[in-house]
Structure 1
Amino acid sequence: MKKLFDKKLDILMRLLDISNTELARAIFIDPSYISRLRTGKRKLPKSKKTFTQWQTSLLNKQVNVEKEKFYPI
């Protein structure tokens, strides 16, 4: 799985239409780190807790975007 992380992250972010900057802001890290993860220049985080927090932040962002489409303020 580790070898496919970069590809999966890239595909997921493209599908959800989320930029490196948007994800980085949501999970409080540098956008260049996201870029390096997506291109395979950086390895998957070793901490499961960190990875789970990232996943949650990414999905929450998309849920909020979808909610705004149906319930505009």
Structure 2
Amino acid sequence: MNKRLLMLSEDECCSGKLVAIAARHVKLALEYLNRKTSIERKQTILTEITNLREERDALINESVICTNNNKN
């Protein structure tokens, strides 16, 4: 995955989206770790984090495909 991330550094749009996803992930993780967070909210947080991971992976894969096509 690191090789894919290096290719993304040239794509500012995608990089900005990845930073936003990472920031949201961190915020959710901190909320999850708070002992005052309800069990129901923790379940919602886990679902949202899963969605963020899928969105991140899709962006990375899409960007790598575009980068590879541009090199050909």
Q: TM-score, normalised by structure 2?
A: 0.41
Instruction: Answer with 1 or 2: which has the greater Rg.
Output: 2
- Return the structure number with greater helix share: 2
Q: TM-score, normalised by structure 1?
A: 0.41
